[in-house]
Structure 1
Amino acid sequence: MTELPHTRTRAVHWLATAAALAAVLGASALLPSDATANPASPPSAAPAPDPVKAHYPLDCGPGGSAVDVLDKGAADFDGDGAAETVAVVRCRAEGGTPPSALFVLSQAAGGRAPEVAATLVAPKEGMTVRDLQVRGTTVAAKLLGYSSPEVPRCCPDRQRRVKWDWRDGKFRLTPAPASGGGLSV
Protein backbone atom coordinates (compact mmCIF):
# COMPACT_ATOMS: atom_id res chain seq x y z
CA MET A 1 0.00 0.00 0.00
CA THR A 2 1.41 3.39 -0.95
CA GLU A 3 1.04 6.52 1.11
CA LEU A 4 -0.83 9.46 -0.28
CA PRO A 5 1.49 12.40 -0.90
CA HIS A 6 -0.49 14.82 1.31
CA THR A 7 -0.34 12.55 4.38
CA ARG A 8 3.45 12.53 4.79
CA THR A 9 4.89 15.01 7.24
CA ARG A 10 7.98 16.89 6.23
CA ALA A 11 10.30 19.21 8.08
CA VAL A 12 8.53 22.21 6.59
CA HIS A 13 5.26 21.12 8.26
CA TRP A 14 6.95 20.86 11.66
CA LEU A 15 8.59 24.27 11.19
CA ALA A 16 5.25 25.86 10.27
CA THR A 17 3.60 24.31 13.35
CA ALA A 18 6.45 25.49 15.61
CA ALA A 19 6.25 29.02 14.17
CA ALA A 20 2.46 29.19 14.71
CA LEU A 21 2.82 27.95 18.29
CA ALA A 22 5.56 30.50 18.98
CA ALA A 23 3.35 33.29 17.61
CA VAL A 24 0.43 32.29 19.88
CA LEU A 25 2.68 32.05 22.95
CA GLY A 26 4.37 35.33 22.10
CA ALA A 27 1.02 37.11 21.70
CA SER A 28 -0.24 35.73 25.01
CA ALA A 29 2.86 37.06 26.77
CA LEU A 30 1.89 40.56 25.62
CA LEU A 31 -1.50 40.43 27.37
CA PRO A 32 -1.75 42.13 30.77
CA SER A 33 -1.37 39.71 33.66
CA ASP A 34 -4.76 40.68 35.15
CA ALA A 35 -6.71 39.74 32.00
CA THR A 36 -9.57 37.34 32.65
CA ALA A 37 -11.60 35.09 30.42
CA ASN A 38 -14.89 36.50 31.74
CA PRO A 39 -14.56 40.18 32.65
CA ALA A 40 -18.32 40.41 33.35
CA SER A 41 -17.93 38.50 36.61
CA PRO A 42 -15.13 39.85 38.78
CA PRO A 43 -13.23 37.24 40.76
CA SER A 44 -14.19 38.92 44.05
CA ALA A 45 -17.95 38.63 43.39
CA ALA A 46 -19.80 36.51 45.92
CA PRO A 47 -21.58 33.42 44.61
CA ALA A 48 -25.33 33.57 44.09
CA PRO A 49 -27.44 32.52 47.10
CA ASP A 50 -27.84 28.77 47.53
CA PRO A 51 -31.56 27.99 47.04
CA VAL A 52 -31.32 24.87 49.20
CA LYS A 53 -30.45 27.01 52.25
CA ALA A 54 -33.40 29.42 51.88
CA HIS A 55 -36.61 29.37 53.91
CA TYR A 56 -39.62 29.64 51.58
CA PRO A 57 -43.14 30.86 52.41
CA LEU A 58 -44.68 27.46 51.61
CA ASP A 59 -47.28 25.58 53.61
CA CYS A 60 -46.16 21.99 53.18
CA GLY A 61 -48.73 20.56 55.56
CA PRO A 62 -48.37 18.80 58.89
CA GLY A 63 -44.86 17.78 59.75
CA GLY A 64 -43.46 20.53 57.52
CA SER A 65 -42.45 18.41 54.55
CA ALA A 66 -39.15 19.25 52.96
CA VAL A 67 -38.96 21.61 50.01
CA ASP A 68 -37.56 20.44 46.67
CA VAL A 69 -35.59 22.87 44.50
CA LEU A 70 -36.53 21.83 40.97
CA ASP A 71 -34.56 24.40 38.95
CA LYS A 72 -32.47 27.50 39.48
CA GLY A 73 -30.69 30.33 37.72
CA ALA A 74 -28.77 33.43 38.76
CA ALA A 75 -28.27 37.03 37.64
CA ASP A 76 -27.49 40.43 39.13
CA PHE A 77 -30.88 42.02 38.49
CA ASP A 78 -30.43 45.23 40.47
CA GLY A 79 -26.84 45.91 39.37
CA ASP A 80 -25.41 46.01 42.90
CA GLY A 81 -22.62 43.55 42.08
CA ALA A 82 -24.25 40.65 43.96
CA ALA A 83 -26.12 37.97 42.04
CA GLU A 84 -29.64 36.94 42.99
CA THR A 85 -30.93 33.38 42.57
CA VAL A 86 -34.18 32.46 40.85
CA ALA A 87 -35.53 29.16 42.17
CA VAL A 88 -38.41 26.88 41.19
CA VAL A 89 -39.51 25.07 44.36
CA ARG A 90 -42.36 22.93 45.64
CA CYS A 91 -43.26 20.89 48.69
CA ARG A 92 -41.91 17.35 48.61
CA ALA A 93 -44.70 14.84 48.01
CA GLU A 94 -44.85 11.07 48.08
CA GLY A 95 -47.34 11.12 45.21
CA GLY A 96 -49.00 13.57 42.88
CA THR A 97 -47.65 16.85 41.58
CA PRO A 98 -47.83 19.69 44.10
CA PRO A 99 -47.87 23.19 42.64
CA SER A 100 -44.58 24.98 42.02
CA ALA A 101 -43.54 28.41 43.14
CA LEU A 102 -40.97 30.75 41.58
CA PHE A 103 -38.96 32.93 43.93
CA VAL A 104 -36.07 35.40 43.60
CA LEU A 105 -33.57 35.12 46.45
CA SER A 106 -31.03 37.62 47.71
CA GLN A 107 -28.16 36.94 50.07
CA ALA A 108 -28.90 38.00 53.64
CA ALA A 109 -26.34 40.00 55.59
CA GLY A 110 -24.12 38.29 58.11
CA GLY A 111 -24.09 34.89 56.40
CA ARG A 112 -27.71 34.13 57.27
CA ALA A 113 -29.91 32.02 55.00
CA PRO A 114 -30.90 33.62 51.68
CA GLU A 115 -34.09 35.73 51.78
CA VAL A 116 -37.04 35.76 49.39
CA ALA A 117 -36.78 39.11 47.59
CA ALA A 118 -39.66 38.55 45.15
CA THR A 119 -42.37 35.99 44.43
CA LEU A 120 -42.97 35.56 40.70
CA VAL A 121 -45.34 32.57 40.94
CA ALA A 122 -47.04 31.81 44.28
CA PRO A 123 -47.93 28.19 45.12
CA LYS A 124 -51.56 29.20 45.72
CA GLU A 125 -51.84 29.83 41.96
CA GLY A 126 -51.73 26.03 41.51
CA MET A 127 -49.31 26.04 38.57
CA THR A 128 -46.31 23.99 37.58
CA VAL A 129 -43.25 25.97 36.48
CA ARG A 130 -41.11 24.45 33.71
CA ASP A 131 -38.24 25.46 31.41
CA LEU A 132 -36.74 28.18 33.62
CA GLN A 133 -34.34 30.51 31.81
CA VAL A 134 -32.44 33.43 33.31
CA ARG A 135 -30.68 35.72 30.84
CA GLY A 136 -29.46 39.19 31.66
CA THR A 137 -32.24 40.78 33.68
CA THR A 138 -35.00 38.57 32.25
CA VAL A 139 -36.58 35.47 33.78
CA ALA A 140 -38.60 33.25 31.43
CA ALA A 141 -40.57 30.06 32.08
CA LYS A 142 -43.48 27.95 30.92
CA LEU A 143 -46.45 27.79 33.29
CA LEU A 144 -48.68 24.72 33.24
CA GLY A 145 -52.15 24.90 34.77
CA TYR A 146 -55.63 23.42 34.90
CA SER A 147 -58.90 24.63 33.43
CA SER A 148 -60.98 23.24 36.32
CA PRO A 149 -60.66 21.29 39.58
CA GLU A 150 -61.90 18.19 37.72
CA VAL A 151 -58.74 18.00 35.58
CA PRO A 152 -56.35 15.44 37.15
CA ARG A 153 -53.30 17.10 38.74
CA CYS A 154 -51.04 14.86 36.68
CA CYS A 155 -52.21 16.27 33.39
CA PRO A 156 -52.28 20.07 33.04
CA ASP A 157 -54.45 21.16 30.13
CA ARG A 158 -53.30 24.79 29.91
CA GLN A 159 -49.91 26.34 29.31
CA ARG A 160 -48.40 29.75 28.75
CA ARG A 161 -44.89 31.06 28.29
CA VAL A 162 -44.17 34.10 30.41
CA LYS A 163 -41.25 36.37 31.13
CA TRP A 164 -40.42 38.90 33.79
CA ASP A 165 -38.13 41.81 33.00
CA TRP A 166 -36.41 43.73 35.78
CA ARG A 167 -37.28 47.42 35.19
CA ASP A 168 -37.49 50.39 37.51
CA GLY A 169 -36.77 48.29 40.60
CA LYS A 170 -39.34 45.54 40.05
CA PHE A 171 -40.16 42.56 37.89
CA ARG A 172 -42.64 43.26 35.08
CA LEU A 173 -44.63 40.28 33.77
CA THR A 174 -45.14 39.79 30.03
CA PRO A 175 -47.31 36.77 29.12
CA ALA A 176 -47.12 35.17 25.68
CA PRO A 177 -50.36 34.15 23.98
CA ALA A 178 -51.98 31.24 25.81
CA SER A 179 -52.44 27.77 24.40
CA GLY A 180 -55.01 25.22 25.50
CA GLY A 181 -57.72 27.79 26.09
CA GLY A 182 -55.63 30.27 28.04
CA LEU A 183 -54.18 30.58 31.47
CA SER A 184 -54.83 33.62 33.58
CA VAL A 185 -51.70 35.16 34.99
Structure 2
Amino acid sequence: MTPTPDFLAHSSARPLHWLATATAMAAVVAAAGLIQPDASATGHAGPSTAPASGPRAAAPDPAAVTYPLDCKGLPTAVTATAQGDLDGDGRPETVVAVRCDAGSGTPPHTIYVLAQDKAPGATPRVVATLLEAGKRQTATELTVRDGVITASLLGYSSPQVPRYSPDVKQLAKWRWSGGKFRQELTNSDAGSV
Protein backbone atom coordinates (compact mmCIF):
# COMPACT_ATOMS: atom_id res chain seq x y z
CA MET A 1 0.00 0.00 0.00
CA THR A 2 1.21 3.48 -0.91
CA PRO A 3 1.52 5.97 1.95
CA THR A 4 -0.91 8.94 1.87
CA PRO A 5 0.72 12.35 1.25
CA ASP A 6 0.54 14.76 4.20
CA PHE A 7 -1.74 17.26 2.39
CA LEU A 8 -4.46 14.59 1.94
CA ALA A 9 -4.35 13.47 5.57
CA HIS A 10 -6.85 16.17 6.59
CA SER A 11 -9.17 16.03 3.56
CA SER A 12 -12.15 14.44 5.27
CA ALA A 13 -14.35 17.30 6.47
CA ARG A 14 -16.15 17.00 9.75
CA PRO A 15 -19.33 18.87 10.78
CA LEU A 16 -17.30 21.24 12.95
CA HIS A 17 -15.22 22.21 9.89
CA TRP A 18 -18.37 23.00 7.85
CA LEU A 19 -19.86 24.98 10.73
CA ALA A 20 -16.68 27.09 11.00
CA THR A 21 -16.67 27.68 7.22
CA ALA A 22 -20.35 28.67 7.18
CA THR A 23 -19.82 31.06 10.12
CA ALA A 24 -16.85 32.72 8.41
CA MET A 25 -18.81 33.13 5.15
CA ALA A 26 -21.78 34.62 7.01
CA ALA A 27 -19.47 37.15 8.68
CA VAL A 28 -18.00 38.19 5.31
CA VAL A 29 -21.48 38.60 3.75
CA ALA A 30 -22.73 40.60 6.76
CA ALA A 31 -19.68 42.89 6.66
CA ALA A 32 -20.14 43.47 2.92
CA GLY A 33 -23.78 44.46 3.52
CA LEU A 34 -22.76 47.08 6.08
CA ILE A 35 -20.24 48.77 3.81
CA GLN A 36 -22.11 50.89 1.26
CA PRO A 37 -20.54 53.13 -1.39
CA ASP A 38 -21.06 56.89 -1.28
CA ALA A 39 -23.98 57.99 -3.53
CA SER A 40 -21.64 60.13 -5.62
CA ALA A 41 -19.41 57.10 -6.24
CA THR A 42 -22.24 55.26 -7.99
CA GLY A 43 -22.73 58.02 -10.53
CA HIS A 44 -26.42 58.46 -9.70
CA ALA A 45 -26.14 61.65 -7.72
CA GLY A 46 -25.51 64.88 -9.54
CA PRO A 47 -23.29 67.72 -8.48
CA SER A 48 -23.79 68.57 -4.87
CA THR A 49 -22.83 71.32 -2.49
CA ALA A 50 -24.64 69.76 0.46
CA PRO A 51 -22.81 69.56 3.77
CA ALA A 52 -21.30 66.16 4.50
CA SER A 53 -23.22 65.78 7.77
CA GLY A 54 -26.90 65.97 8.58
CA PRO A 55 -29.94 64.40 6.95
CA ARG A 56 -30.24 64.49 3.18
CA ALA A 57 -33.28 66.14 1.66
CA ALA A 58 -35.79 63.78 0.09
CA ALA A 59 -36.41 63.95 -3.65
CA PRO A 60 -39.85 65.32 -4.61
CA ASP A 61 -42.61 62.70 -4.69
CA PRO A 62 -44.10 62.41 -8.22
CA ALA A 63 -47.43 61.21 -6.78
CA ALA A 64 -47.91 64.51 -4.91
CA VAL A 65 -47.97 66.67 -8.06
CA THR A 66 -50.82 67.74 -10.34
CA TYR A 67 -49.29 67.85 -13.82
CA PRO A 68 -50.18 70.58 -16.34
CA LEU A 69 -50.92 68.00 -19.05
CA ASP A 70 -54.26 68.28 -20.87
CA CYS A 71 -55.65 64.74 -20.96
CA LYS A 72 -59.25 65.66 -21.88
CA GLY A 73 -60.61 64.26 -18.62
CA LEU A 74 -58.37 61.17 -18.46
CA PRO A 75 -55.95 60.65 -15.58
CA THR A 76 -52.20 61.05 -15.98
CA ALA A 77 -49.67 58.22 -15.58
CA VAL A 78 -46.07 58.60 -14.45
CA THR A 79 -44.12 56.00 -16.44
CA ALA A 80 -40.52 56.74 -15.39
CA THR A 81 -38.67 58.72 -12.72
CA ALA A 82 -35.08 59.63 -11.92
CA GLN A 83 -33.63 61.69 -9.07
CA GLY A 84 -30.51 63.77 -8.59
CA ASP A 85 -29.22 67.22 -7.71
CA LEU A 86 -29.50 68.97 -11.08
CA ASP A 87 -28.70 72.57 -10.13
CA GLY A 88 -25.98 72.02 -7.52
CA ASP A 89 -27.95 73.39 -4.55
CA GLY A 90 -27.56 70.21 -2.49
CA ARG A 91 -31.26 69.29 -2.79
CA PRO A 92 -32.35 66.54 -5.19
CA GLU A 93 -34.87 67.13 -7.96
CA THR A 94 -37.08 64.48 -9.56
CA VAL A 95 -37.43 64.07 -13.32
CA VAL A 96 -40.65 62.39 -14.48
CA ALA A 97 -41.99 61.06 -17.77
CA VAL A 98 -45.77 61.58 -17.75
CA ARG A 99 -48.47 60.69 -20.28
CA CYS A 100 -52.23 60.56 -20.41
CA ASP A 101 -53.51 57.22 -19.13
CA ALA A 102 -55.57 56.45 -22.25
CA GLY A 103 -55.72 52.68 -21.70
CA SER A 104 -54.74 51.94 -25.30
CA GLY A 105 -52.53 53.34 -28.03
CA THR A 106 -49.27 55.16 -27.45
CA PRO A 107 -49.98 58.57 -25.92
CA PRO A 108 -46.99 60.94 -26.13
CA HIS A 109 -44.92 61.76 -23.08
CA THR A 110 -44.09 65.01 -21.39
CA ILE A 111 -40.94 65.21 -19.26
CA TYR A 112 -41.06 67.48 -16.21
CA VAL A 113 -38.56 68.46 -13.53
CA LEU A 114 -39.96 68.61 -9.98
CA ALA A 115 -38.51 70.55 -7.04
CA GLN A 116 -39.43 70.56 -3.37
CA ASP A 117 -39.65 73.90 -1.54
CA LYS A 118 -37.78 74.10 1.76
CA ALA A 119 -40.88 75.17 3.73
CA PRO A 120 -42.26 72.41 5.96
CA GLY A 121 -45.35 70.78 4.47
CA ALA A 122 -44.80 72.28 1.01
CA THR A 123 -45.83 70.12 -1.91
CA PRO A 124 -43.48 69.44 -4.84
CA ARG A 125 -44.01 71.55 -7.93
CA VAL A 126 -43.16 71.45 -11.64
CA VAL A 127 -40.23 73.82 -12.26
CA ALA A 128 -39.40 72.94 -15.89
CA THR A 129 -40.85 71.15 -18.91
CA LEU A 130 -38.17 69.36 -20.92
CA LEU A 131 -40.36 67.60 -23.48
CA GLU A 132 -43.78 68.81 -24.65
CA ALA A 133 -46.55 66.33 -25.50
CA GLY A 134 -46.91 68.13 -28.84
CA LYS A 135 -43.59 66.59 -29.94
CA ARG A 136 -45.46 63.25 -30.07
CA GLN A 137 -42.57 61.25 -28.62
CA THR A 138 -42.36 58.44 -26.09
CA ALA A 139 -39.69 58.72 -23.40
CA THR A 140 -37.85 55.59 -22.28
CA GLU A 141 -34.72 54.90 -20.23
CA LEU A 142 -34.90 58.06 -18.12
CA THR A 143 -31.77 58.60 -15.97
CA VAL A 144 -29.98 61.30 -14.00
CA ARG A 145 -26.22 60.96 -13.70
CA ASP A 146 -23.69 63.63 -12.73
CA GLY A 147 -26.29 66.39 -13.15
CA VAL A 148 -27.25 65.28 -16.68
CA ILE A 149 -30.76 64.06 -17.54
CA THR A 150 -30.81 61.44 -20.30
CA ALA A 151 -33.80 59.92 -22.08
CA SER A 152 -34.31 57.82 -25.17
CA LEU A 153 -37.06 59.42 -27.26
CA LEU A 154 -39.08 57.30 -29.69
CA GLY A 155 -40.94 59.07 -32.48
CA TYR A 156 -42.12 58.93 -36.08
CA SER A 157 -40.45 59.88 -39.36
CA SER A 158 -43.76 60.81 -41.05
CA PRO A 159 -47.53 60.95 -40.40
CA GLN A 160 -47.91 57.70 -42.39
CA VAL A 161 -45.98 55.67 -39.78
CA PRO A 162 -48.46 53.80 -37.50
CA ARG A 163 -48.62 55.30 -33.99
CA TYR A 164 -47.97 51.89 -32.44
CA SER A 165 -44.68 51.48 -34.33
CA PRO A 166 -42.24 54.37 -33.75
CA ASP A 167 -39.39 54.34 -36.27
CA VAL A 168 -37.11 57.12 -34.98
CA LYS A 169 -34.98 56.95 -31.84
CA GLN A 170 -33.06 59.90 -30.36
CA LEU A 171 -30.89 60.13 -27.29
CA ALA A 172 -31.70 63.43 -25.59
CA LYS A 173 -29.67 65.03 -22.80
CA TRP A 174 -30.43 68.08 -20.67
CA ARG A 175 -28.10 69.92 -18.31
CA TRP A 176 -28.73 72.89 -16.00
CA SER A 177 -26.60 75.76 -17.28
CA GLY A 178 -26.94 79.53 -17.05
CA GLY A 179 -30.16 79.39 -15.03
CA LYS A 180 -32.07 77.01 -17.33
CA PHE A 181 -32.04 73.51 -18.79
CA ARG A 182 -30.23 73.23 -22.10
CA GLN A 183 -30.86 70.26 -24.42
CA GLU A 184 -28.64 68.36 -26.80
CA LEU A 185 -29.91 65.68 -29.17
CA THR A 186 -27.64 62.94 -30.39
CA ASN A 187 -27.77 59.95 -32.74
CA SER A 188 -31.18 60.17 -34.39
CA ASP A 189 -31.81 56.78 -36.00
CA ALA A 190 -34.75 56.57 -38.39
CA GLY A 191 -36.01 53.08 -39.17
CA SER A 192 -33.94 51.40 -36.45
CA VAL A 193 -36.48 51.09 -33.67
Name the amino acid aligned to 1:48.
A
Counterparts in 2 of 1:12-161, with a 5 A limit?
38=38, 43-61=54-72, 64-108=73-117, 109-161=119-171
Residues 43/37 of structure 1: CA separation in 2 closer, same or farther (3 Å cut)? farther
Unpaired segments of 5 or more residues in structure 2?
A: 1-7, 41-51
Please say if residues 141 and 162 of structure 1, whose CA atoms lie closer than 8 Å, have aligned partners that are also in contact.
yes
Please say if residues 86 and 175 of structure 2, whose CA atoms lie closer than 8 Å, have aligned partners that are also in contact.
no
Please say if residues 49 and 107 of structure 1, whose CA atoms lie closer than 8 Å, have aligned partners that are also in contact.
yes
Partner SS for 1:161: strand
- Structure 2: distance between partners of 1:178 and 1:4: 67
- Structure 1: distance between partners of 2:39 and 2:163: 46
TM normalised by structure 1 equals 0.74
Partner SS for 2:166: coil
- Structure 2: distance between partners of 1:46 and 1:145: 36
Q: Deviations over 1:42-66 (max 9, x none)?
A: 55122100111111110000xx221
Unpaired segments of 5 or more residues in structure 1?
A: 26-35
What is the aligned counterpart of 2:180 among 166, 170, 175? Answer: 170
- Structure 1: distance between partners of 2:128 and 2:64: 16
Name the amino acid aligned to 1:52.
A
Kindly report structure 1 stretches of 4+ aligned residues shifted beyond 3 Å: 3-11, 36-43
Kindly state the Cα deviation for residue 127 of structure 1 after the two structures are TM-superposed. Answer: 0.6
Aligned residues: 164
Q: Who is 1:28 aligned against?
A: none
Please say if residues 60 and 114 of structure 2, whose CA atoms lie closer than 8 Å, have aligned partners that are also in contact.
yes
**Root mean square deviation of aligned Cα:** 3.4
Partner SS for 1:163: strand
Kindly state the Cα deviation for residue 168 of structure 1 after the two structures are TM-superposed. Answer: 2.7
Partner SS for 2:187: coil
Kindly state the Cα deviation for residue 178 of structure 1 after the two structures are TM-superposed. Answer: 1.1
